[in-house]
């Protein structure tokens, strides 16, 4: 998705447009801690309300030690399609990585979320080499 690409973020959309995957290296000065989850959830609720989608399950933290914060939300899109969105925050070196997967994939959701998890877990810190 060219319109959503930045120097620190890339976004892919599935061929059938049922899912979107975003991988973003957060700014170097941004620190993610579990205590931030309630504020993140409030922001997600506000963004969902602005989008016109109807929440079917409020964003909720899912305990998983592989991520600093893992949040899932369920909603119904304006066109009536049920959707889910997964937000994965992970420390990679001194920075934090945010992987987000938004899906309307129905029976494909499990595989699409597995791809998001794999993308997040595959990131590794590589020490810069001297020139």
pLDDT at 30: 94
pLDDT at 3: 75
pLDDT < 50 stretches in the chain: none
pLDDT at 1: 63
pLDDT at 105: 81
Closest CA to 67 of 12, 19, 128, 113: 113
Instruction: Report how far apart, in Å, the C-alpha atoms of 1 and of each of 9, 23, 38, 125 are.
Output: 10, 12, 29, 25
pTM (predicted TM-score): 0.91
């Amino acid at each position: 998705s060219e319109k959503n690409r930045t120097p620190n973020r890339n976004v892919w959309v599935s061929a059938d447009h049922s899912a979107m995957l975003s991988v973003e290296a957060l700014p170097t000065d941004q620190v993610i801690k579990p205590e931030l989850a309630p504020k993140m959830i409030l922001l997600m609720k506000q963004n969902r309300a602005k989008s016109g989608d109807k929440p079917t399950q409020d964003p909720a933290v899912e305990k998983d030690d592989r991520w600093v914060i893992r949040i899932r939300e369920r909603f119904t899109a304006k066109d009536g399609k049920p959707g889910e969105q997964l937000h994965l925050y992970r420390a990679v070196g001194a920075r934090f990585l945010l992987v987000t997967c938004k899906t309307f994939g129905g029976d494909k959701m499990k595989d699409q979320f597995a791809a998001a998890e794999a993308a997040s877990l595959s990131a590794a810190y590589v020490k810069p080499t001297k020139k």
